Chain A
Amino acid sequence: MNILYDERVDGRLPAIDQAEVLGALRSALPDLEILHRNEDLRPYECDGLSAYRTLPLLVVLPVRLEQVQTLLKVCHQRGVPVVARGAGTGLSGGALPLSKGILLVMARFNQILEVNPQGRYARVQPGVRNLAISQAAAPYGLYYAPDPSSQIACSIGGNVAENAGGVHCLKYGLTVHNLLKVDILTIEGEHLSLGSDALDSPGFDLLALFTGSEGMLGIVTEVTVKLLAKPQVARVLLASFNSVEDAGRAVAEIIGAGIIPAGLEMMDNLAIRAAEDFIHAGYPVDAAAILLCELNGVEADVTADCARVQAVLEQAGASQVQLACDEAQRVRFWAGRKNAFPAVGRISPDYYCMDGTIPRRQLARVLSAIAELSAEYGLRVANVFHAGDGNMHPLILFDANVPGELERAEAIGGKILELCVAVGGSITGEHGVGREKINQMCVQFNSDEITLFHAVKAAFDSRGLLNPGKNIPTLQRCAEFGALHVHHGQLPFPDLERF
């Protein structure tokens, strides 16, 4: 286990006395709610990556931005690390606490400040839930496009910090494509507005830099998101295939035909069976793979595109293509996909969700390599895939109560990510690096690139107090753990062409 903060390789943290910091915060912020007893801290010891837990030094629950500003100034002055947290649904441990750091919970900033239908934007506090924005915009026929599967619970501040995605990214982009402005506080307590109410702003594109920066550069205090007009209609096609290769080819051919589906999802047989067993979505349990293709827009276009896609799917060798005949069936088709994770949770005591991206043309090759790894490590892997944008979510099934299985799951997960990098992809498409993929960063980036990332960090947080240990590994860590993979001249997957 090398995931929890290790001062030996992740950098020394200042020695901090809990009582002393508590006293300083109480005198500077008498009305700030601070948790300090172990039983109160316990609920905050992890985020959505619950296999890894650390009790924070203190938890603070501010309700006013001045409190956040003062807190940051105090922490900056005293050299106390700060880890920001929204709803705590992140899957990469981005909000994993530090035993020597304060956990700053932004969840109580949960007000929608403005919904402006003419300007097609909503201005919200960081603790507002993703889905709540679309709900508030719905009376105007508008919505906020990014829809991570945790959208019922995850908050927009965290979405910005992680550059959250969802199932509609190919057509509508990630969080970064759907923001106008983000207000932040730096570790020095200085307020900056990044972006603007217009479509661009003078200077460097710091809005893009901050999006997905995992709480390393500043604390999000307000977000202005773009709203889009709701499409008139949405239709879903469900196609079954006897091989994943055929399904992969069908994806390329749909896009080659000039069609950009709103969603294009693939599931392999294990995922299909788990989902069908759980949701009864009407999936063909004997198919090697299914594709779900959603087309949305104006009625006439959607009807025409459905016919085109159907022809492409049949041409590509689909054994069966079904068009959801009504809204109820459409929702049921999606329910199977959207519940794929909990469905897999029913067939295995534990599962570990990966998030690599690959160029789509590598799909068949990557899936067969995953199958080989699965056999080698003796763990089942179910594959759920945002096929349209090349974002894979292999789910590694294991039982944490069986000694060694968690370690094997971590090992195969690391191999899968290295495989994604080897075929020209990335270790994370939408879940973020956080703590989980910190070692794999050393595979995707060389030491000069990692050094440049540290330079960016230093421009905003020269003392490294915001979320230390996340997102960007130290060179010491890469030397120790990354070295296993690349620096001994023995590349993983030597048979693959390098990119």
Chain B
Amino acid sequence: MSLAGDLSQDLLDQVKQALASNTPLRIQGSNSKAMLGNHVAGKLIDTRGHSGIISYDPTELVLTARAGTPLAEIEAVLAEAGQILPWEPPHLGPAATVGGTVAAGLSGPRRPWAGAARDHVLGSRVITGHGKLLRFGGEVMKNVAGYDLSRLLTGSFGCLGLLTEVSLKVLPRPRQCLSLRLHMPAHLALSALAEWGQQPLPISAACHDGEALCLRLEGGEGSVQSAFQRLGGELIDSRFWDDLREQRLAFFADSQPLWRLSLPIASGTTGLPGRELIDWSGAQRWLKSTAPAAQIRSQAAALGGHATGYSAVADSFTPLPAALLRYHRTLKQQLDPQGIFNPGRMYADL
């Protein structure tokens, strides 16, 4: 295990200086998630030098790494032991770091079955807005001592503190994996998925690309084979899911604005103008559309979900209801009283 690259003291010093001079900070790894949220006008603090896997024991199913460790390095080390990050985090860039991965909290195609990024974050070290380097959670599967700050920090885009280290739950790679494609229109695919979801089928990814339903089956040899016999369809290369996760499919190629809609799992088609790609068995929709943001957001809300702009537009996140926003503000005020961590990245005054 690499032990080089412990720059936590250096990062802490930079935060202390920022606190002393009241300088806002723009926390950045490889900047691969720049399309999400607002640009932060702040002094750059680069986490990439603080790198390296600190501990990994495959039989404990836990890996701990410094924030600047490349995600690709972690995945390679896990692969050698036949293990994976179950939530298939999107890299969205060749040099994505694990700190940024957790801070952005994004999840890939296996999300509805395996859980999200935050479901696999067991512990963290974080530099707080009080200039302290603290540890929360740990390297054990079950831990309910104190508030769950590690999961709160997941997906908070660095607005509540600077993550320096994360402990992640990992899992064995499923024994067998088959991907298949079934030609059917989107509405039929959605109703089929709603039905299959109630059955113990080994589906671990489900996407409708506009023409056909793509499914991934993962599990033991027996369950995958019997599900394949039952569902049929043509076999496809399982790298399809990597291309979906990394937005490399043809669908993502044109210059129209990209939106992500997060909807209840059994939602029907959205009826929004533009092209739509269904992921997460219906719970995530990628939309290429020039429709006004307000229309997309209100339709997502009407369906019980929300929409996020992925095209480096201002205000990419759905505005919060007033009461919820008030508690976001008090929480930010408590954890980052001087407002130095990524101010405005998620919302204007957070």
A180 to chain B minimum Cβ distance, whole angstroms, is 9
A62 to chain B minimum Cβ distance, whole angstroms, is 21
CB neighbors of B among A236-257 (8 A): 252-253, 255-256
A163 to chain B minimum Cβ distance, whole angstroms, is 5
Q: At the interface, yes or no: B94 with Cβ under 8 Å from chain A?
A: no
Q: Assess A389 versus B141: contact at CB under 8 Å? Given A177-B115, A445-B146.
A: yes
A191 to chain B minimum Cβ distance, whole angstroms, is 7
Q: At the interface, yes or no: A471 with Cβ under 8 Å from chain B?
A: yes
Q: At the interface, yes or no: A271 with Cβ under 8 Å from chain B?
A: no
B222 touches A424 (CB 8 A): no
B61 touches A208 (CB 8 A): no
B199 touches A198 (CB 8 A): no
Find chain B residues with CB under 8 A from A255 CB: 58-59, 61, 172
B57 touches A433 (CB 8 A): no
B220 touches A427 (CB 8 A): no
Q: At the interface, yes or no: A299 with Cβ under 8 Å from chain B?
A: yes
B115 touches A204 (CB 8 A): no
Query: Can you list, as one digit per residue, whether each of B208-240 has a CB less than 8 Å from chain A (1) or not (0)?
Result: 000000000001111101100000000000000
Q: At the interface, yes or no: B40 with Cβ under 8 Å from chain A?
A: no
Q: Which residue of A lies closest to B134 (CB)?
A: A449
B223 touches A300 (CB 8 A): yes
Stretch from A25-33, A337-345, A454-462 contacting the other chain = A454-462
A196 touches B141 (CB 8 A): no
B155 touches A204 (CB 8 A): yes
Per the CB 8 Å criterion, the residue count for chain B at the interface is 86
Find chain A residues with CB under 8 A from B82 CB: 258
Measured in the bound complex, the distance between the Cα atoms of B159 and A300 in whole Å is 48
Q: Assess A433 versus B145: contact at CB under 8 Å? Given A258-B82, A305-B220.
A: yes
Q: At the interface, yes or no: A50 with Cβ under 8 Å from chain B?
A: no
Stretch from B17-25, B43-51, B269-277, B301-309 contacting the other chain = B301-309
B262 to chain A minimum Cβ distance, whole angstroms, is 4
Q: Which residue of B lies closest to A425 (CB)?
A: B140
A238 to chain B minimum Cβ distance, whole angstroms, is 22
The 8 closest A-B pairs by CB, nearest first: A300-B222, A301-B220, A429-B142, A208-B151, A258-B172, A298-B223, A389-B141, A198-B305
| Chain B interface (Cβ < 8 Å from any Cβ of A) | 57-62, 82, 105, 111-112, 115-116, 118-119, 128, 130, 132, 134-136, 138-149, 151-152, 154-156, 159-160, 171-173, 175, 194-195, 197-202, 219-223, 225-226, 262-266, 280, 283-284, 304-306, 308, 317-320, 323-325, 327-328, 330-331, 333-335, 346-347
27 contacts across the A-B interface (CB closer than 8 A): A118-B197, A173-B115, A174-B144, A186-B327, A192-B323, A196-B305, A204-B152, A205-B105, A209-B149, A209-B152, A212-B148, A229-B198, A229-B201, A255-B58, A300-B221, A300-B226, A357-B141, A359-B60, A359-B139, A428-B144, A432-B144, A441-B145, A445-B145, A449-B146, A452-B130, A459-B331, A459-B335
